[in-house]
Amino acid sequence: MLLNGYEEKVEALTAELSLREKISMIHGAGLFRTGGVERLGIPPIKMSDGPMGVRFEFHNDNWGRVGHLDDGVTYCPGNSAIAATWNRKLAEKAGTVLGEEARGRGKDMILAPGINIMRTPLCGRNFEYFSEDPYLISELAVPLVTGIESADVSACVKHFALNNQETERNWVNVEIEERALREIYLPGFEAVVKRAKTKAVMGAYNLFREQHCCENKELLGGILRDEWGFDGVIVSDWGGVHNTNAAAESPLDIEMSIFNNFDDYCMAEPLIEAVEAGTIDEAYIDRKVKNILRFMLRIKMIDIVSEGADDDKKVYAVRNPERKKGSYNTAAHREIVLDTARESIVLLKNEGNRLPLVPETLHKLLVIGDNAAKIHSCGGGSAEIDALYE
């Protein structure tokens, strides 16, 4: 029997899942993957940090690096560099590199781009962000996300929202006037949802109007889902969920964290207990699972098929053979990021026409300061990659 359209397929497969199987899909079963349902062919979602490139591999249950050396990737431009190009076409090309390399490394979701406003220079994630200007962010994040997702991999636009400082990053409560919220802090996110049709969004650590962003019904429901019509996957920041009931009843779909006690996550065993006790309606879990299955169909992770008559019909997922394979650390990719790096350089002043340097008359060039010897491809830790070329 042929199942037509995403929604019919999603409904049919969700109906086959037990409560425990559904719960396994909505929280981390590894530091960078969700749980799958092998019985029905549903794979885990495999994720990796960005945006400077696909982060090197970790063990499933600890932060030790997996001991192989074949995961070197192209050192992609930071979003600040992309912003400095003012070039939409280059932004899309840079996104294509990141997407293709994520697929080449077997990922389904790259945790990028970060598009928060650079409100304070003390924010530890500014190196991942674009700008202090919401229009510039919107105009370059849209093609970047489009480029990423052209490779049958999902972007995960972050951190939604108002995550702009390091002090009390996980606990600061952001109170903000509606006009500033709408004119400064939300336009970039609205643009990538409505124009780039991003398939995933990551919640933020902080609180917004007294409630954590990853459990926030106003932010994730009223604005993201209802106003903007987002029906993709919402992923928590790692450790951004704090309350089982609040998370379950919110529009959040997947809880991730930095610890390996996966069964103890708020949306794991505690949620099973809450549903069985009748304090949480299982319909909330069904909505999350349907968003995840729809996501998998959209990036061609799976197709959903059925066989047999109605009274004995079997519905299950199969691998989609049409999904792109990807590639990483190629000469073509390195050329694109080099073009981006060149165009990101902004010359503010050129006293005495010292530039460009003339090789015929230049015998020695002294490079001094911390950046003379510093390796940059480790980012701020969360964006560290194994770059063959720095």
Distances (CA, A) of 323 to 49, 103, 292: 21, 9, 17
Is there a contact between 54 and 367 (Cβ–Cβ < 8 Å)? Answer: no
Is there a contact between 154 and 109 (Cβ–Cβ < 8 Å)? Answer: yes
User: Whole-angstrom Cα distance, residue 214 to residue 259?
Assistant: 17
User: Whole-angstrom Cα distance, residue 236 to residue 257?
Assistant: 8
Q: Which residue has the tokens 């929604």?
A: 7
Neighbours of 67 (CB within 10 A): 7
Annotated catalytic residue within 49, 237, 253, 386: 237
Is there a contact between 54 and 385 (Cβ–Cβ < 8 Å)? Answer: yes
Is there a contact between 83 and 113 (Cβ–Cβ < 8 Å)? Answer: no
Mark whether 237 is an active-site residue: yes
User: Whole-angstrom Cα distance, residue 94 to residue 109?
Assistant: 16
Would you please indicate which residues are annotated as catalytic (active-site) residues? 237
